[in-house]
A and B are shown apart, each in its own frame.
Chain A
């Protein structure tokens, strides 16, 4: 199966896709209810055990790297330049000042991305796309719509593979893909034009293949992969409800009476993201240098 799904035997994998979809909706909702960096950070930390339970720590961290790029960008640029800030927190070289209000705003925003990203990654990696489609059909989602969703999951890796072949095919026609920035922008045409045509051809073919197997027949269909909501799912949903009630209680009755967000927390989380980002860059550079040195040694 061409998708991000990682087959593992775990508690999260065995949950019904519908439960997991409710879970994702719950996380999105919570990330908006918890309008405070400290609480969001706690929430993010409390999601991590689920990732461990799903045995997806490594792939999760790899996919989080990309979201972290956004977080670094938002926290740095907003922290300095967002006009809502008034109270200075600290200054870096060149007289750029991070301000409290803008840092809170930026942290909430970037933690929200990480929190929602965590739930989404957890869902996508632990749910077989066909299971998701059959679960949606059980929710009375039209079959064709469920299929559209399913095929989107599947076509992305196919397009990625085709893109690689097209790129190689154009390189075989002396296209230099490692040129200047302008050259690279120009290169998009010879790569994307065949890719679009091939994708359309594939989709067209797919529609014929589906019709050959009576896709548009009226009435109900049986599914090869059946999903059932069991006691585990009810327990999980109960947990979600309890958590949600607690969050609402926290926000409505206790908001303002305690404040976990401090200058220190904001500064350390900012520096923390910078540090992780710096590590990522260092890792990338070391890999490049190793490859270069290895190439030299072989030659």
Chain B
């Protein structure tokens, strides 16, 4: 299968001489959720800014759906790769939520009907029916974040990049984002997450790429990466608390990495049943 995003040997050196990413190779396929982890300044944001052409590789090549990012305009690439910035205030500026949703489509010069169709889809997905006439700046921060996400989704890009989506969100907001990421995947989108939120990744158990000092050091399923102590220590990452705890419980340790409370409970129940079976046999 052809990868949708293909990063081939890409390096990026900023004009001040700082190497932000070095020889990164990464293929992302349709319908994948990919989390990019790493400490601050490890090159996560620089890497994803290449996906919609905001940055061009100084070495190597990136193709998005077969198009080379070097040749295409950012506006064209942005219709394929939607990038939701960390701070929604950088993106929203129109007086009404509904106008905000239409803005991206208008930039792409779509017909009225098409804009309406796409915006309605986004409204449905994000359940924004009640806020359409509100000013985005009157909404609370998690609602504003959703408006920013919805305004990107209205363009209906194949890929959606979320830059630290759960930062500054309350528990409900985090749950909502988890739900949305699952929805995006159901609707056939590729989701790229930059995050420090290990619980979010634990819940998703998605493919996880670890960046460290401008280089890609790991690329695997979250439970495999979290089980690799060397990598976790190198990149300065701390797995979810439930993973750390279960790693230290001998009676659970059947070579499995637990990422969520539910999975641990499930396992305990199974163990318990088996014990009961053994007990009844004897």
Q: Which residues of A contact B (CB under 8 A)?
A: 162, 165-166, 168-178, 189-190, 193-194, 197-198, 201, 295, 298-299
CA distance A166 to B55 in the complex (A): 15
B83 surroundings in chain A (CB, below 8 A): 169, 172
Contact B85 A172 (CB under 8 A): yes
Q: Could you tell me which B residues sit within 8 Å of A by CB distance?
A: 49, 52, 54, 61, 68, 70-71, 73-75, 78-79, 82-85, 87, 89-93, 103-104, 107-108, 137, 151-152, 155
Residues of A within 8 A of B75 (CB): 171, 174-176
Bound-state CA distance A289–B102 (Å) is: 38
Closest to B100 in A: A173
Residues of B contacting A162 with CB < 8 Å?
90
Q: Nearest chain A CB to B263's CB is how many angstroms away?
A: 36
Question: A residues within 8 A CB of B87?
Answer: 165
Q: Cβ of A174 and Cβ of B108 under 8 Å apart?
A: yes
Report yes or no: A165 in contact with B90, Cβ–Cβ below 8 A.
Answer: yes
- Docked CA distance A166–B91 (Å): 7
When C-beta atoms are compared, the residue in chain A nearest to B106 turns out to be A174
| A148 smallest CB distance to B (angstroms) | 25
Q: Report the separation of the CA atoms of residues A175 and B49 in the bound assembly, to the nearest whole angstrom.
A: 16
Complex: how many Å from CA A166 to CA B86?
Answer: 11
- Given known contacts A165-B90, A194-B91, A197-B93, A172 and B152 CB-to-CB distance under 8 angstroms: yes
Would you call B93 and A174 a contact (CB within 8 A)?
no
Contact partner of B89 (CB less than 8 A), chosen from A168, A171, A190, A194, is: A194
Distance, CA A189 to CA B91, complexed state (A):
12
Residues on A with beta carbons closer than 8 Å to the beta carbon of B155: 173-174
Q: A198 CB to closest chain B CB, in angstroms?
A: 5
CB distance from A228 to the nearest CB of B (A): 35
Contact (Cβ within 8 A) A168 B54: yes
The answer to whether A194 and B54 touch across the interface, beta carbons within 8 angstroms, is no
Docked CA distance A198–B89 (Å) = 7
- Out of A170, A190, A194, A299, name the residue touching B70 (CB < 8 Å): A299
